[in-house]
Amino acid sequence: MLEALTGTGLAASAGLNAYIPLMIMGLLARWTDTIDLPTGWDWLSNGWTLLILAVLLVIEMVADKVPVVDHVNDVVQTVVRPTAGGLAFGAGSSSETVTVSDPGSFFGSHQWVPIAAGVVIALVVHGVKASSRPVVNATTAGFGAPVASTAEDIGSVVMSVLAILLPVLVLLGLLLMVLAGVWVVRRRRRKKILAASGAPGLGG
């Protein structure tokens, strides 16, 4: 149960930022005894892997805070974040994988299930994030983009740390994400209603 919560939290974190959970796992595995990556996932703690993740993280954090650019970034991340979510869930839940050269064994052993679950979880969270950004930009004339992005980065870090150290609290994080999703849906519906009625703005 705790392993599933750990994987879920890391995958949800990847839905907000693809590189934060992978970096946190890699750094903790390399420099502490907090997490022991399962066989086949120790490449996450490799120095070159961490360097590449750090560079990609900086690019992602900058791009996500610029209006319009953040939308383009979200389109690109539609593939990246779910992929990272699958990797994060697979590593975080201690699942073992076999080599890609034997796909029959991979699917027959059901070792693909945690990775598939991570992909779905990250994709859902990413969908909420990508849908909420246009609403934030429209209601704040673009000034809310860096604030929202910073909050999402912090949320990704907190969710990743909780998933590793206190996985039970992941449930609280998921509840907050559900509430955020409800807010996005309501705001989008209100925007459509106002647009249909010819109202001049969204209001408070």
Q: Model confidence over 136-156: pLDDT tens digits?
A: 888 787 788 898 899 889 989
In-domain check, residue 97: yes
Q: What is the pLDDT of residue 197?
A: 67
Tally of domains within the chain = 1
| Closest to 82 measured CA to CA, from 139, 132, 122 | 122
In-domain check, residue 10: yes
Q: Which SS3 state, helix, strand or coil, does residue 126 take?
A: helix
In-domain check, residue 184: no
Q: Specify the range with the lowest mean pLDDT, choosing from 78-82, 93-97, 144-148, 188-192.
A: 93-97
Quote the mean pLDDT of the chain: 80
Q: Which residues contact 52 (CB under 8 A, 6 or more apart)?
A: none
Q: What is the pLDDT of residue 83?
A: 92
| Closest to 153 measured CA to CA, from 27, 9, 15, 26 | 15
- Between the two ends of the chain, the Cα-to-Cα distance in Å is 41
**Contact indicator for 84, 14 with CB cutoff of 8 Å:** yes
Q: What is the pLDDT of residue 49?
A: 94
Highest mean pLDDT among 15-24, 185-194, 195-204: 15-24
pTM of this structure: 0.78
In-domain check, residue 44: yes
Q: Which residues contact 202 (CB under 8 A, 6 or more apart)?
A: 138, 139, 187, 190, 191, 194
Query: Cα separations (Å) of 136 from 1, 21, 43, 104, 197?
Result: 36, 25, 37, 45, 21
pLDDT in tens, 37-47: 877 788 889 99
Report which of residues 195 and 122 the model is more confident about. 122
In-domain check, residue 196: no
In-domain check, residue 204: no
In-domain check, residue 65: yes
The residue range of the domain holding 92 is 2-177
